[in-house]
Chains A and B, each alone.
Chain A
């Protein structure tokens, strides 16, 4: 069983289109994230939801809109795609370790988005 699964794995589209990436986790975690990894492998957080509530919203264009229908799902919708949106998008989840005050991130395998 895949703990954090995201679909599709590859997404090729034209500039100006609208696309969605879906993410589901079966770990029972309360917190989910979207990360973006650029061509230089720099991995940056975009959004985070805790129990369906948005808790982190980095300086991401408002063309990107996350949606969390329940705490096991966090989808990412992107409007009016631009060339610069080409990257690998990773979904992740975590559960705070109440004993130590930190969380371990579990990542999906990524969605390679190519905007032509």
Chain B
């Protein structure tokens, strides 16, 4: 199971772009990279997922270099409401066998201020 390492916390101001990098040096060939967002008193919410290169949706972008040993979640023009914990996960579907299970680490606490 690929282990992930991400910063414990980050601070930003409204309107700035925030990039959170996650290291996953032992990522396996079949592993996908997924990011979740968690607000206080709520369950995590899926943000974005990718396998390689760049993925973009209405919320964020995910940059994955060719070696896939890291990934960067990019949040454009953050607002106060983006204050949350962001989790990086690496793994494959448990339903495809192999015993991989999506386990969350401690995440990155992003604090956005005025």
Residues of A within 8 A of B (CB): 4, 31, 35, 40-45, 48, 50, 55-56, 58, 90, 92, 96, 100-110
Contacts of A108 in B (CB 8 A): 43
Say if the beta carbon of B80 comes within 8 Å of chain A: no
Interface size on B, residues (CB 8 A): 25
Contact of B106 among A4, A41, A48 (CB under 8 A): A41
Contacts of B42 in A (CB 8 A): 107, 109-110
Q: Are B104 and A102 in contact (CB under 8 A)?
A: no
Known A-B contacts A31-B95, A103-B93, A105-B36; the reply to A40 vs B41 at CB < 8 A is: no
Contacts of A96 in B (CB 8 A): 93, 95
What's the A-B contact tally at a CB cutoff of 8 Å? 66
Contact of B105 among A42, A90, A104, A107 (CB under 8 A): A42
Q: Tell me if A's interface is mostly helix, strand, loop or mixed.
A: strand
Q: Are A92 and B96 in contact (CB under 8 A)?
A: no
